[in-house]
Chains A and B, each alone.
Chain A
Amino acid sequence: MERYVELDQVGMHFDGKKGRFVALKDVNLTIARGEFVSLIGHSGCGKSTVLNLIAGLLLPTDGIALANGREIAGPGPDRAVVFQNHSLLPWLSCWGNVHLAVERVFGARETLAQLAERTDAALALVGLSHARDKHPHEVSGGMKQRVGIARALAMAPKVLLLDEPFGALDALTRAHLQDELMGIVANTGSTVVMVTHDVDEAVLLSDRIVMMSNGPAATIGDILEVPLARPRDRLALAADPEYQRLRAEVLDFLYRRHARPEAA
């Protein structure tokens, strides 16, 4: 399997007024092409920091972070991020938000018509063709997050980075979008790294679940393989003993082996 993202002894510390805060220490992780990896852990365990390191929004203070064999020196459109709070520009329509990304990535090589076609295709992929001319404040939270996913997918990224993408949504919308994401990833064969705090989401979507220990100086506690066959169906899995076992393992890690020292 081709290694796509490689974190080698990565550490991250922040120098603040109260001295040095070590967020991450000795993180080692390789992600193969086409793999769906979830990062799970209690809040404050640095899982978003790991994602930001892969995105290039942060640079590691120790160790090496590689993407496609090259050191990650900053953010770039080959590693598209779907932000937790969608981060759509409110003055652009849904179409405009996606088009901004398409224009940046393909503008130099393609005609305007081709760019428009790409934008339309990305919106169609997330089922939002009907809302193309709406502005973000005119659509629901779930739709906004779908535009965010469309914007990321339209960049044809090598890795799709999802930072708690469905955290702010209600349970029904979340389930719906998880199913949609599974379908899209199956069709596009994308490499995905997703930060989540939802155990079911992690088991349902992932090939591997990276479980993080608590901070400060958080690191990878354990990595769980999820050998469930695809396509996965949430209703069928609910009664599946293998699914139950995996779910129990993550829960055991989070609430027994790495329970929060002072439960907030």
Chain B
Amino acid sequence: MMSKTLDIRVARGKAARRSLPLPALLEPLRSPFVAVTRTLVPPALGIVAFLLLWVLVAQGSGGSLPGPVSTWRAAVLLFADPFYQNGPNDQGIGWNVLMSLGRVGAGFGLAALVGIPLGFMIGRFDFLARMSAPVISLLRPVSPLAWLPIGLLVFKAAGPASIWVIFISSIWPMILNTAAGVRAVPQDYLNVARVLRLSEWKVFTVILLPAALPAMLTGVRLAVGVAWLVIVAAEMLTGGVGLGFWVWDEWNNLNVEHIIIAIFVVGIVGLMLEQALVWLARKASFGEEH
């Protein structure tokens, strides 16, 4: 039954090739074209649909929401001079992005320095896992901004307080994913370590670290996502230079084009951070069959 239908298909293919030689000849040329259309057309269509929707909503709002064209014009002007400085509350978009990235980098870096080793310990030693479980489960679901007053109280300054918020909100994914990665290290590898009687340091460097690296990087990726989400909100409250503050400042100026631009900038920077870490994770993963 199966072979019969297959035969028919093969015969049909042959006949088609004989009667229509041109498409067959074009086949190698056509397939990369098909591949390109398949990867490029759907996203392009999505963006076009989004822009159309935006135009419709903007027109429906009667001018209160700027459309794509006026936003584009404002963006061209804005990005013409991204690094101007007119006093502390009026600086170029480039400074705002860099300041936000700097805070995310500081808070996130500290969280990685504390969270990853902590995750390793929790994953390796069951006692520590049981000990930390209630504290982590209690603190993890807390909204990041709820930590801001504590930061302001302790540090008495806006900058360190927003770094603190980034730290406390991005540490959990790193602790939990690293611990899960260490716990998921196959028992076979640990049996190898036991038979060889490897030292705890050797077990860490040769087995635990490489085996847990993919899970660890997943945690880092989630943490960067959280940190970038939180920074805009934190800066809205703390002020200074930064994307969040800029959004709030432009809201006070009723410069809606700039708010929309800020949304795009936040989205694009977040996407780039995410992609960089996806790339890093791919570099670090091995062709494992497990």
Q: Assess whether A137 is in contact with B289, with CB atoms less than 8 Å apart.
A: yes
Given the complex of chains A and B, what is the CA–CA distance between A16 and B206 in angstroms? 33
Q: Assess whether B196 is in contact with A77, with CB atoms less than 8 Å apart.
A: yes
Encoded as 1 (CB less than 8 Å from any B CB) or 0, chain A from 71 to 83 comes to 0001111011101
Given the complex of chains A and B, what is the CA–CA distance between A83 and B194 in angstroms? 13
| Given A76-B197, A77-B197, A137-B289: A89 in contact with B191 (beta carbons within 8 A) | no
Q: Which of A151-197 contact B (CB under 8 A)?
A: 155
Q: Assess whether A100 is in contact with B196, with CB atoms less than 8 Å apart.
A: yes
Q: Assess whether A101 is in contact with B210, with CB atoms less than 8 Å apart.
A: no
Given the complex of chains A and B, what is the CA–CA distance between A90 and B206 in angstroms? 11
Q: Which of A34-74 contact B (CB under 8 A)?
A: 55-57, 74
Residue pairs across A and B with CB atoms within 8 Å: the count is 59
| Given A89-B206, A100-B206, A104-B198: A137 in contact with B287 (beta carbons within 8 A) | yes
Is A138 part of the contact surface with B, judged by Cβ < 8 Å? yes
Q: Assess whether A89 is in contact with B210, with CB atoms less than 8 Å apart.
A: yes
* Interface residue tally on B, bucketed by range: 20 to 34
Whole-angstrom distance from the CB of A109 to the nearest CB of chain B? 16
Which residues of chain B have C-beta atoms less than 8 A from A79's C-beta? 195
Is B188 part of the contact surface with A, judged by Cβ < 8 Å? yes
Given the complex of chains A and B, what is the CA–CA distance between A56 and B196 in angstroms? 12
Q: Assess whether A91 is in contact with B286, with CB atoms less than 8 Å apart.
A: yes
Which residues of chain B have C-beta atoms less than 8 A from A83's C-beta? 188, 191-192
Whole-angstrom distance from the CB of B217 to the nearest CB of chain A? 14
Q: Assess whether B188 is in contact with A87, with CB atoms less than 8 Å apart.
A: yes
Q: Which of B194-224 contact A (CB under 8 A)?
A: 194-198, 202, 206-207, 210-211
Is B189 part of the contact surface with A, judged by Cβ < 8 Å? yes
Is A85 part of the contact surface with B, judged by Cβ < 8 Å? yes
Q: Which of B231-270 contact A (CB under 8 A)?
A: none
Is A247 part of the contact surface with B, judged by Cβ < 8 Å? no
Closest to A85 in B: B188
Encoded as 1 (CB less than 8 Å from any B CB) or 0, chain A from 181 to 224 comes to 00000000000000000000000000000000000000000000
Q: Assess whether B286 is in contact with A104, with CB atoms less than 8 Å apart.
A: no
Q: Assess whether A91 is in contact with B210, with CB atoms less than 8 Å apart.
A: yes
Q: Assess whether A81 is in contact with B191, with CB atoms less than 8 Å apart.
A: yes
Is A260 part of the contact surface with B, judged by Cβ < 8 Å? no
Is A135 part of the contact surface with B, judged by Cβ < 8 Å? yes
Which residues of chain B have C-beta atoms less than 8 A from A137's C-beta? 286-289
Whole-angstrom distance from the CB of A1 to the nearest CB of chain B? 26
| Given A87-B188, A87-B189: A80 in contact with B195 (beta carbons within 8 A) | yes
Q: Assess whether A89 is in contact with B189, with CB atoms less than 8 Å apart.
A: yes
Whole-angstrom distance from the CB of A165 to the nearest CB of chain B? 14
Partner of B196, one of A92, A101, A138: A101
Whole-angstrom distance from the CB of A49 to the nearest CB of chain B? 14
Whole-angstrom distance from the CB of A54 to the nearest CB of chain B? 12
| Given A89-B189, A100-B206: A135 in contact with B287 (beta carbons within 8 A) | yes
Q: Assess whether A89 is in contact with B195, with CB atoms less than 8 Å apart.
A: no
**Can you report 27 residue pairs joining A to B where beta carbons are below 8 Å apart?**
A55-B195, A74-B197, A75-B197, A76-B195, A76-B197, A77-B197, A81-B191, A83-B191, A85-B188, A87-B188, A89-B192, A89-B206, A89-B207, A89-B210, A90-B286, A90-B287, A91-B210, A91-B286, A100-B206, A104-B196, A104-B197, A104-B198, A105-B196, A135-B287, A137-B286, A137-B288, A138-B287
| Chain B residues within 8 Å of A, Cβ to Cβ | 186, 188-189, 191-192, 194-198, 202, 206-207, 210-211, 286-290
User: What are the 3 A-B residue pairs with the smallest beta carbon separation, nearest first?
Assistant: A137-B287, A87-B188, A91-B210
| Chain A residues within 8 Å of B, Cβ to Cβ | 55-57, 74-77, 79-81, 83, 85, 87, 89-92, 100-101, 104-105, 135, 137-138, 155
